Structure 1
Amino acid sequence: MKKLLAVRHRILVDEDGYLPDQGGYIVDVYDALPTTANFIVLDGTEVIGGVRLTADSEAGMASDTSLDFLPLLSSSAHPIACSLFCLRQAYRDNMKPTVPTRGLRYRRSSKGGSCLANWRC
């Protein structure tokens, strides 16, 4: 997990400039919640990216700070927020979108790693 937090910083601060420097790691309260799952994208053993999924809870979701979409959902909905998607620039340059046939798709990278979701490296 520590490697993912460092890679988030490298991508979102150093490579893309989306966030201010936060001391080497991008982490917030949502990373510590039991309703959060972090998916890590690897190339071999190197962490090259990730994405965070957070289910709604009493603490809320990361998306609550930018958009309150809960009033748009039925009372029986179980929303999940996807946030902090990041992938090293060198890998983004070679990506081609694909159409998933069943949920998430995993493809081998030409460099020997795996990509998560509906992208082909």
Structure 2
Amino acid sequence: MIGRTAIVAAAFMAAAAPVAFAGASHHGKTRTVGVNDDYYDPGKLTVHVGDKVKWVWHANGFSLHDVYVDSGPTDFHSPTQGAGSYSYTFKKAGTYKLYCTQHEDDMTMTVTVKKASKKK
């Protein structure tokens, strides 16, 4: 009888485990930013910790662009390229001032990263 109870309890726990852990981690959203000729679109973006931002180059391929952190809680940068994409997952809350090293004065953007909201 004890063996049967243990098997039933183990089966119940195994079935309930995915439900119990479903809310334990934040599965971030992906937001897209266009990298155009001399500007990012949008120029301001608000995301949460765990969210990914994907920069997609829409330029004609003749102009080179990149994404560099001017100031923020973490440094990162993309390769300098004329086409393609670059993604970064934000792990720290704060304000990130970004720019293109090829067009420093004109091509900037701000990403505000908020703490992940707790599910109730």
The normalised TM-score by structure 1 is 0.22
Q: Which structure has more strand as a fraction of its residues? A: 2
Q: Higher relative contact order by CA 8 Å / sep ≥ 6: 1 or 2?
A: 2
The normalised TM-score by structure 2 is 0.22
